[in-house]
Structure 1
Amino acid sequence: MTAKFSKTRETIVDVSRNVFGEMGYYNATINDIALACNRGRRTIYTYFKSKDEIYNEVIKVESTKMSAELQNYFSNVLDPHEKLRMYIIKRMEIIRNLVYAHKALKTCFFKEKAHFDQIRREFDKEEIKIVLSILDEGIRRSVFQVLNMSLTAHNLLVTLKAFESNFMEMNPDEALKQRQQEIIRVILYGIFNNNNLR
């Protein structure tokens, strides 16, 4: 694969991200992508077999970027508990910004949640890796007690998804901020008094 081929492919993916964001996956066509790229349909088909393939690549690239942003956010934090807290806050912010940056995703998030979850499967895979690394570090430092890391990571991700709508407001008032903090506290500590934990 030549440098020019790779660069053109990257450009198509980058432009397609905006096309899908504005029009949505179902409404966008190869013609729309070609027009936005200032290229012909045949050129697009030189690099991608279908709209699906372009869309999958867009999601893959976006997922990698979000994962890197999450990792960088708490990379210098040593305490696993604090790292997990920061991860929860930052991932909610990233999801919110992503939803509001793309008109189609905003509609999808609030009206077609099942489809939104399908779209971000790639990001889910990246998130599971991040959570597993935090859990592993917490276990090694005797901060967390986890019997099944895979199940715990999966359950944490499901729990976070369930609370996402509480973090979607761009300018939360004090009452909502308080509710968000309470959600994070419950996720991190559960309902037990710390003194009663064994």
Structure 2
Amino acid sequence: MVLKTREKLIDVARQLFAHKGIENTTMSDIANASDKGRRTIYTYFKNKREIYNAVIEKESEQLVARLRNVITTDMSPVEKLRRFIDLRIDVVADAVAHHHDNTVLRSLLMRDVKRMERIRQLAIEKELDMLKSIIREGLETGDFDPDKVDGVYASMIMLFQGIELSYMRNNFHQIGVDPARMREQVKQYIITAIQKL
């Protein structure tokens, strides 16, 4: 019950922040929209900043939850890396497709760039840990070349950010890129860059 109430407050706050902006959303707005009293909100959160931080943490966690499963599979490090890249692209593609007719995601992205950067930063830290785990395993098995892996982390993060932006702007056609082909090219590029020959 406690967890459900907290999650509901976070979800309601996320939607209000997207539609009204953080500055224009009050604790009373969150209480009214969640059918809870202000006293209930203050039981879970000291202030709006704390709710905001909980929203950011939840959204960053959602971005990486699916990626965690890749680490524990019995696949080879090369296959794990391929799957990681696929899932990383899927997370963004699914989020955009799911919210295509809903303005919440786009509002969040366009209205509060600073918030999205915080979400992205938290997600990047978690992604990097998972990515390093896959690459470390690949180094141990001899699949990846130790002389080639240094620059791969930053390169992958930048590639993913560019892909995210294209999905969010829905500008693949405009820039002359087929998303399915791009996905295969990204996997091939990264794996070729670090694979031991």
5+ unaligned residues in a row in structure 2: which ranges? none
Cα distance in 1 for partners of 2:123, 2:151 equals 18
Higher relative contact order (CA 8 A, sep 6+): 2
Which of 186, 190, 195 lines up with 1:187 in the alignment? 190
2:88 to 88, 91, 111: 91
**CA distance 1:150–1:116, shift in 2 (3 Å):** farther
Alignment of 1:1-198 (within 5 A): 5-72=2-69, 75-99=72-96, 101=99, 103-109=103-109, 116-146=116-146, 152-168=152-168, 169=170, 175-190=178-193
What is the distance in 2 between the residues matched to 1:41 and 1:151? Answer: 49
Sequence identity (%):
30
Aligned mates of 1:81, 1:73 — CA distance in 2: 11
Which blocks of at least 5 consecutive residues in structure 1 are unaligned? none
Residue type matched to 1:138 in 2?
A: G
State the TM-score, normalizing by the size of structure 2. 0.74
Give me the whole-angstrom Cα distance separating, in 1, the residues matched to 2:10 and 2:114: 24
Q: How many residues align?
A: 191
Rounded Cα–Cα distance in structure 2 between residues aligned with 1:38 and 1:111? 26
Deviations 1:152-197 (CA, angstroms, capped at 9, x unpaired): 434421232123334455998994422332233223324x9x8xx7
Instruction: Give the TM-score, by structure 1 length.
Output: 0.74
1:139 to partner: Cα distance: 1.0
Cα 1:73–1:144 change in 2 (3 A) is: closer
SS at match of 1:76: coil
* Conserved? CA contact 1:20–1:104, under 8 Å: no
SS of 1:120's equivalent in the other structure is helix
Q: Could you give the per-residue CA deviations for residues 32-82 of structure 1, whole angstroms, max 9, x where no partner exists?
A: 211121122233123212222112112222333332212225642421112
